[in-house]
Amino acid sequence: MTHEPTMTHEHAHTALCLWEAWLETDEGTDWSLYRSVAGAVQSRFACIDMASTVEAVWALLPEEVRDTCCYDWEFVPAMLSRFDYGGRFPRLNGTTQAVAAAFAEGHQP
């Protein structure tokens, strides 16, 4: 019997990048508060849930931004501050288009 994956490797990679950035962030952020209240397991599930939104924002960035921005170490960590952590799962503050435009505007290659 073969096991069909439930997510792509790219999606898993994004979720892992989110989790790594989450853990490397100092206390006092909205996401560190979320983790202290919701716990590590729920926070890992949140990263899995957030990954598709992060990927959607990345896909909307102009090619010149994607070509000069490190996905793992620059873009994904910056995305943590673009979410609202008030619910069971964090939700993007704004549309993917608006967040992509704001990130592109602030990105300095």
Q: Count up the domains in the chain and report the number.
A: 1
Domain membership flag for residue 1? no
**Parent domain of 13:** 9-106
Domain membership flag for residue 4? no
Reported as a single tens digit per residue, the pLDDT across 34-50 is 999 999 999 999 999 99
pLDDT band, residue 74 (cuts 50/70/90): very high
Reported as a single tens digit per residue, the pLDDT across 49-70 is 999 999 999 999 999 999 999 9
Domain membership flag for residue 102? yes
CA-to-CA distance for 19 and 40, rounded, in angstroms? 10
Bridge partners (DSSP) listed for residue 83: 92
Domain membership flag for residue 3? no
CA-to-CA distance for 55 and 53, rounded, in angstroms? 5
CA-to-CA distance for 83 and 98, rounded, in angstroms? 13
Domain membership flag for residue 2? no
Examine the pLDDT at 6 and tell me if it is beyond 90: no
Examine the pLDDT at 94 and tell me if it is beyond 70: yes
